Structures are given as C-alpha cells and as structure tokens.
Structure 1
C-alpha cells in the first residue's frame, strides 16, 4: 500500500493485479517440490528423505457414521491444515518471484495469493506496460510447467490513484492467459477491500455491517454471559476486526473514523451493559480501550519500532532511515529520530507508511524512542497514547 500511495503522490496511477490459483495446494507436484527443497533451500540427506516420506504414499478416505469410502492414494498436493503446508507451498512458488523480478514488476506473495503492481505512465495511462504483458506470458508458461492453473473468477485487476489519475484512463479490461479480466472499482486483498481511490470507504462500510451483525447477536446473549465470557466474544468478533490491518486506515476521512468509533462505542456499551445515551469516554477508560484513532497510531508506532530494531519484514524496514547524528547534543530534538520524506498530497503521500511512521515516531517522547525491549515499549506507548486520548 505504501508504494501505491507514493506513486499516486508523484502523479501516476498504479495497476494492481491479484492472481488467484485454482486448488493450488492440491496440485503441487511432489517431484518438483522435492527438487526445489534440494536446489532452492539446500536440503539433502536425512532431511530430504524425511520430506520425501512426509509427502509420498499418503492416503485419504471419507468417513460418515459407520460408512467409509475406499482408500485413495494422494499423488500430488501438500497437506492442508498442517503447519508445513503453507511453508512448502511458498517454497514451491519461489521461482515465480525470480520471474517477476526479472521483468521489474513489483509483487508480494502470501501462500497462493500473488499480487503484482506497476506504475503506469502518467502521460499515457491508457496503455498497458509491455513489461507486464511479457511477465504474464512467462508466468503462464511457468504455471503450466508446474501444474498450477489460474482461477479467472477470483483474479482481479484495478487501477489505483487519485480520482483524476484513474478517470484519465479508459482501460476497461486486461488479457491474462487468454482470459479477458475486466477492471474492478473495488477488490478484496487478504480480507481488506481496496477501492480505486484508496479511500477504504467500501472496506469500512463492510466492516460496519459485519460488526453490527455480530454485536446484535452478542447483545441478545449478554444477559446470560459472564463478564469475562462477554469480553472474549467482543474481542473475538469486534476488536479483532477493528484492529485487523488498521495501520492502512491512517488518514482516512473523519466520517470513516466516526463509523469505526461508533462500532467500538456500541461494543463497550454491550459489554458493560450501558444504555444507548450513556457517556462513553469513562467506559472506554475503565476498559483500558484506546479509541480508534489512537489504536491506529499504536499499530503504526509498534510497526516502526519493529522496523528500527530489525523485527519487521525487509520491505517495511527499508522504507525508514534514522537521522545521521554523529553525537548527542543536549538541545537536540532529533535523537533517535527518523528521516521525514517530502510528500505532496494529504490524501496520498501523507498516508504512506514511509511518511506516517517518521511523523508519529518523531513526535514520541525521547524516552520512548530510546532503545528498549518490546514489552517495555508497548507498555510505555499505550500509557502515552492513553494520556493523549483521555
């Protein structure tokens, strides 16, 4: 998301392509996977033999009551529901990353979800980059050779940028592996709904709808629930949704923040059995719940801490850099501060992680920015944000 926001901030739209594979985990070729474990990972000897034993000669059958189907030998695929399943599939997909990198197309992979994105030429946003077409052709050949097939029904493409940038293009579809995929105005990527102008309006509308459906059911059960059980339900069905990928929501509209805050307020009322018009600030305070805006700040500051201390993925850490200060001055306010890049648009670049993270981090007290353990940092950060909120 950082790259998409920064590209739009620099004046160009981006093309995002979400590839989905049909029954990907079930079609993995065992021979190819074992060769990949040897060539890409460097396994040999006993370890490689163990994986050979793990993958081959597996059987399956269906059991219903006292009835049982005949046994079927599994000749391909990785065991789903296992700890090793996603890891083995990721290893199986490693050459795909080499292909995409060769064509200088940006990408991220998570299990069988692959997302490709490219900056469009701002002077001719109606023309698809030739490098993308060549990349897709090579991906098709690789998938065919590796027993994988694209699921056209779940493959999406979307043009992302400011309203002016997206409206200046008349692209309506893209040809992928001989299939015509129409451009979407909203796509879902790992549970997050992304609209063409990166407002997250659709995501928050959907989040509100689902959250209030669950809240309604919990409210019906509340008289029969103990306080700890009710709190567990609220966290499982409401708080987890509010916190999921909430770092992306920095800079979203005030209206969207109000919608999210309304969900949290209602959840607090259900949990504490308060009436609709009871004042909510004291309730949130007693529950030690940070308001939505501060929960977003908390997540971003924690991610920033992880980047600085080498606990975050490289694609995030490389976006940030510390100020180069040779010595500490008593009057200096830049101690442990991050470099702040220049951006142009409040709706785009100002919301990108590489711009937001330094802004929030540099505003923290020096005692929080100083090196310390993660638990101490989290405790101090929450205390600091609570003082701001209440």
Structure 2
C-alpha cells in the first residue's frame, strides 16, 4: 500500500526545490513498514542518505564521515593542481598557494565535523604531508622550508578560542554554546583555586559524542585552567598565541 504525506506550506517558508528529506534512525536493518512519500506543495521529495547544510554534509547516522572524505578528495585534486605549477614557484609561493586554496578547504567549519574518527581525519593529514614534502623539495639547500602546524593543533586552537569568546568575552552569537561553571570545591585541593574557572563537561555516552565540540573542548579548557593562567588574559590575540605554544608542549 502506497502512503503519501502531503504538506501544504507557505511559499515564503519552504521551497520544494531547496528542501531535503533524510530519515534519521539507529536501526541497522531496513524498516518493516514502508516510508510514506512526502509531498511539499504537490512535489515529491526524495529520501536522501545524506543532506548538506551550508556546505557541511551529514548522513542519516548523524556522522560527518562522508563530508570528510569529500573534502579530502577535493583537497587532493587542488593539491595536484598546485603540483603542476610548482616549477614556477619557490617554496614560499607553494606554501602560500597551499594555505589559500587547499588548507582553507580542509578548515571550513572544522569544529562541526571534527568528531569524525581519527582514521578519517588522517586523510586530511596525509594531504598536508604531501604538501610539506613538495615545499621541502623546492626549498634552497641553505634555507629551511616553512613548517606547517598540524591540522589537529589548528582545530584545537580554534576550539579553545571559541570557548574563550563564549565564556570570557560573552559573545552574544555564541550563547547557545555556553556551559555552566563548575561548582566550588567543598574542601581544599590542588585544583580548588581554579575551580571557579572550570566548566561542567557534558556527559557523553558514545565515543563519537565524546569527540564532539562541547565535550572535547570543555575538557581541554579545564586542563588549560589547571595548568596555566591563560584564561585570565584580556586579549583574544594574546590568548590564541599562548594557546598555540601550550598545545605544542609534550
């Protein structure tokens, strides 16, 4: 039996040609009951395995693995284009072109999809390693080639800067990311003095959510508060530069 679900929506709210439909389910096997055909203003909307929102692709399992694979493929293609004209550039020119055309693609909305498994994020690291080798080949023997920061370090710095802007600078557009401050300790401990500046870490039931933005960077923020005084800086630029040095430490 064919099922149909007809939705009559005002034209200024939804456009059928721009509307995407995806079924989100934790089931590993197909549903026993047929999925009804969804009609919007009389036009059938096909069920998709993944949807794209502002350039970020998310699948029906609410993961971003397909998105990372896609940007890795596009970044690899762009790096091959840079390689073709490498004979016209020096090492600094290749680095500038890589940072502008390739790395910028791999750093579009990274805090959204950085919860991907390390094996998928490693695809992006391999592309940067290829770019680093290309830069080293073009560097003069008497000069050192410019070293690139690891992509994970750049993502971590960006995540901590967002936490800083949310909780220390009270950025209004980041209010939804605000986490409650941890309760003060009832007794004296080594970390009791920094307890007021620590955040409550959201409880994570899955490894994927544990790697997502709020659990990961609230934990990292608490480590930063316990080990340094960087959270007391009044300038975002100073905080960012100091966090870069803090993350580099073994």
2:205 to 344, 356, 362: 344
Alpha carbons 1:234, 1:271 under 8 Å: kept:
no
How many residues in Structure 1 have an aligned counterpart in Structure 2? 237
Report 1:357-376 matches (<5 A): 357-364=217-224, 365-376=227-238
Give deviations 1:172-207, integer Å, cap 9, x for gaps: 643323322122111111111111113322112211
Q: Counterparts of 1:258 and 1:194 in 2: how far apart (Å)?
A: 19
Summarize the Cα distance change of 1:223–1:274 in structure 2 as closer, same or farther, 3 Å threshold: closer
Higher relative contact order (CA 8 A, sep 6+): 1
Alpha-carbon shift at residue 155 of structure 1 (Å): 1.9
Provide structure 1 residue ranges, at least 5 long, that are not aligned to the other structure: 1-127, 276-282
Summarize the Cα distance change of 1:315–1:219 in structure 2 as closer, same or farther, 3 Å threshold: same
Alpha carbons 1:158, 1:183 under 8 Å: kept:
yes
Give deviations 1:198-226, integer Å, cap 9, x for gaps: 33221122112111111111111112113
Summarize the Cα distance change of 1:165–1:341 in structure 2 as closer, same or farther, 3 Å threshold: farther
Q: Counterparts of 2:116 and 2:233 in 1: how far apart (Å)?
A: 31
Alpha carbons 1:336, 1:370 under 8 Å: kept:
no
Report 1:93-112 matches (<5 A): none
The structure that has the greater radius of gyration is 1
Alpha-carbon shift at residue 298 of structure 1 (Å): 1.8
Q: Which residue of 2 aligns with 1:203?
A: 67
Q: Which residue of 1 aligns with 2:155?
A: 296
Alpha-carbon shift at residue 167 of structure 1 (Å): 6.0
Q: Aligned-pair RMSD on alpha carbons?
A: 3.2
Alpha-carbon shift at residue 366 of structure 1 (Å): 3.2
Give deviations 1:223-256, integer Å, cap 9, x for gaps: 2113443222111111111211111233311220
Alpha carbons 1:368, 1:381 under 8 Å: kept:
yes
What secondary structure, in the 3-state scheme, does the structure 2 residue paired with 1:193 have?
strand
Q: Which residue of 2 aligns with 1:171?
A: 35
- Give the structure with the larger strand fraction: 1
Provide structure 2 residue ranges, at least 5 long, that are not aligned to the other structure: none
Q: Which residue of 2 aligns with 1:51?
A: none
The TM-score, its normalising length taken from structure 2, stands at 0.80
